[in-house]
Chains A and B, each alone.
Chain A
Amino acid sequence: MDAASHALRLQTTGVPSAPPPRQGSSKRPHVTIRGLSKRFDNTVIYDNFDLDIPRGQLISVFGPNGCGKSTLINMIAGLTPVDAGEILFDGMRLAEIKFGYVFQNYREALFPWLRAFDNIAYPLKMMKVAPAERKARTERLVARLGIKLDLNLYPYHMSGGQQQLVSIMRALVVEPEILFLDEPFSALDYEMTLFMREQLQKLFMESGTTMVMVSHDLEEAVYLADRVLLLSRRPARIADFTPVDVARPRADATLSDPEFVRLKAHCLEVFQREVRRT
């Protein structure tokens, strides 16, 4: 990151990049990304990219097409190898933490040969949790989230939204420290998307898990986020890291809240500026 954008980030976040001593762990960044570089063939996607992801917040990632939004979370989640750089979670490596990942294509991400309940419990099996304990933990999660779904169904007998809910629950069952979501609602129809936003907000408020969500819908990005990470064209820089200080739970009325409208307009302006820049 160059000096100017670094200054911009400090200005908008107001959080120094070095953790202040004894300010409580919640103020320390959860994920620190330093010197991240990535290229595909000859295209530079990231070049010496730095980012701090705050703990317990929902971060939306938004930016021009092909700027590397999904690549960013895929690199953080270890799905895409990095060329250079370091990504640490409280100073630990990915292999040492528990995390969840929700794919855009729920239809291909769930296992059609398992019932919804067993799909949700599957990551526990990978963690070598005993079957009885798996069942208990999955049931506890379902009860805690208060989601009313017939989990004895196979995924292909569920609606798209229900399937995506199952994938999100599957990601949450391990009690992850961080959850990644790659355009989780973009394969759903509008009605279902609205419903799922509420569900995700509920899950976020309930679990307090750090979430990083790639979105291609600015309204959704602002509506759900504590902070919107706006990326530039490639090689991606942080165009802005806008805090969204709008009280939760947000609802339909939030969409016409002056502060929300102002923030959305601000983000759109930054986005437009980045799109036009050549």
Chain B
Amino acid sequence: MKGKRLEGFLPLVGVIALLFVWSIATWQQWVDPVLLPSPLQTFRALWAGMNGGALGFDFIKTVYRTAASTVIAAVIAIPLGILLGSSEKLYRSLEFVIDFFRSTPASAMFPLFLVLFGVGDETKISVAAFGAMLVILFNVAYGVMNARKTRLLAAKVMGASRLRVLYDVMLLESLPQTFVGLRNGVSLALVIIVVAEMFIGSQDGLGHSVFEAQQLFEMPRMYAAIFAAGVLGYGLNLLFLLVEWRFVHWTGK
């Protein structure tokens, strides 16, 4: 009983250990304090930045860009994935192209998208959407294709039309895999957005914040921005997991 209650705190062990080692390292000056500020300094910078400082604004900018690119990617990729997945021949015809571009680092597309869209938000969002779209597309198509044959037959035997089977069975069957795609997609989108904010003439965003702090040698601020990016990535993943648990209750069952 007591042991069970304590087990809930296990994830904190790693956090405490990290903070402990970090504190010792800065206190004993194992690392140059200029390169590694203490946890206290870092969290102070994080608090100041998020609480009315520039970091909060950058955070919101990055959230907006990541969300926009993920939404665009999902809106395109989910219907397309269902279409591709429901026709094996169509999927086989396009599989190589999808796999090729899925394997191409999306960051290699920046120059192309710069030419197409200029240096504004459109470029960042569209490159991230492009990367995320292929990941989501692949997973949705895969989920639809791997719909249990028995379930499709069962629906057919009960008199479901092809369209009904698609809507009532394939779509729902693909949801667990779709969520895998969405989680991977949003992670990739965040990576691309942060990189874009660092190097593609950006005035704001977490990537810009990290880069600028580094250029100005404001190390606590840089670490704070890194943490903010970590919190964002973790939070987005968690958000999708919670939505999945709520709506796709049968995952893995």
Contacts and interface: CB of A to CB of B under 8 A. Distances in A.
Contacts of A77: 157
Contact of A109 (B150, B159, B168, B172): B150
B151 A108 contact: yes
Contacts of B151: 108-109, 111
A105 B153 CA distance: 12
A110 B159 CA distance: 15
Contacts of A7: none
Contacts, number: 43
Interface string A98-135: 00010101001111110000000011001100000000
B16 interface: no
Interface in B10-52: none
B159 A123 contact: yes
A8 interface: no
Contact of B253 (A122, A156, A170): A156
Given A113-B250, A126-B164, A154-B250, A103 B154 contact: yes
B150 A105 contact: yes
Contact of B159 (A79, A111, A126, A154): A126
A79 B249 contact: no
Nearest to B153: A79
B169 interface: yes
A79 to B, nearest CB: 6
Band of interface residues on B: 10 to 19
A162 to B, nearest CB: 15
16 contacts: A78-B157, A79-B153, A79-B156, A79-B157, A103-B150, A103-B154, A105-B150, A108-B148, A108-B149, A108-B151, A111-B151, A123-B158, A126-B159, A127-B159, A154-B250, A170-B158
Nearest to A167: B154
B80 interface: no
Interface string A44-74: 0000000000000000000000000000000
A105 B250 CA distance: 17
A122 B158 contact: yes
Contacts of A109: 150-151, 154
Nearest to A126: B159
Interface in A218-256: none
B71 interface: no
A222 to B, nearest CB: 27
A110 B172 CA distance: 13
B160 interface: yes
Contact of A112 (B153, B158, B160, B253): B253
Given A112-B250, A112-B253, A126 B150 contact: no
A78 B156 CA distance: 10
B249 A154 contact: yes
A163 B168 CA distance: 20
B164 A156 contact: no
Given A105-B150, A109-B154, A111-B169, A126 B250 contact: no
Contacts of B149: 108
A95 B153 CA distance: 16
Nearest to B175: A113
A123 B148 CA distance: 18
Given A79-B153, A111-B172, A113-B248, 6 more contacts: A109-B150, A109-B154, A110-B154, A111-B168, A123-B159, A126-B160
Interface in B83-108: none
A156 B176 CA distance: 15
A110 B173 CA distance: 12
A156 B250 contact: yes
Contacts of A111: 151, 168-169, 172
A42 B151 CA distance: 29
A124 to B, nearest CB: 9
A25 B148 CA distance: 40
Closest 9 CB pairs of A and B: A112-B250, A156-B253, A108-B150, A123-B158, A126-B159, A108-B148, A101-B157, A109-B154, A113-B172
A108 B147 CA distance: 10
A129 to B, nearest CB: 11
Interface in A70-94: 77-79
